[in-house]
Each structure stands twice: as structure tokens, then as C-alpha cells.
Amino acid sequence: MINSQYKSYNDLPLFLNAKTVAEVLGIAQSSAYELMHGNDFPTVKIRSRMVVPKERFIEWVNSHADNPK
């Protein structure tokens, strides 16, 4: 099990990278990259780097927590 240093949404950085997404969700980094390449994940591409804005990540988590697939 992956242990996260983040205990609340307030602890998250403004932008999350794949490593942070993986840590927060408790998944492998490769799975985080798969999510970040998905159409419904709120990824922003800055040149060759993919990041997720904190607020949009929180919205995504909340929408999927209410509506598991």
C-alpha cells in the first residue's frame, strides 16, 4: 500500500503531477499516467508536461466518489 503524505485537500500542491496523483489515490504511478491520458480526467498539458490543477482534481474525485463506474 502506498502511504500518502497528504492528509487533506489543503495539503495538495496547486498542480499535481503523475507521482502526486498516484500517491493521493493510492495507485501505481503507471495507473496515474493512464488516468491522465483519459478523456474525462482534468489534465492540462504545458509543453511536454502533464499536470492536474488541484481544484479540478478535487472535483474529479468528488464526482467519481458519488458516481462509481
Please report, in tens digits, the pLDDT of each residue of the chain (69 residues total).
456 788 889 999 999 999 999 999 999 999 999 999 999 999 999 999 999 999 999 999 999 887 655
Residue 7 lies in a domain: no
Total structural domains in the chain?
Answer: 1
Is residue 20 within 8 A of residue 59, CB to CB? The reply is no
Residue 60 lies in a domain: yes
pTM of the model: 0.85
Residue 10 lies in a domain: no
Expressed as residue numbers, the domain containing 57 is: 17-66
Residue 12 lies in a domain: no
Residue 39 lies in a domain: yes
Residue 42 lies in a domain: yes
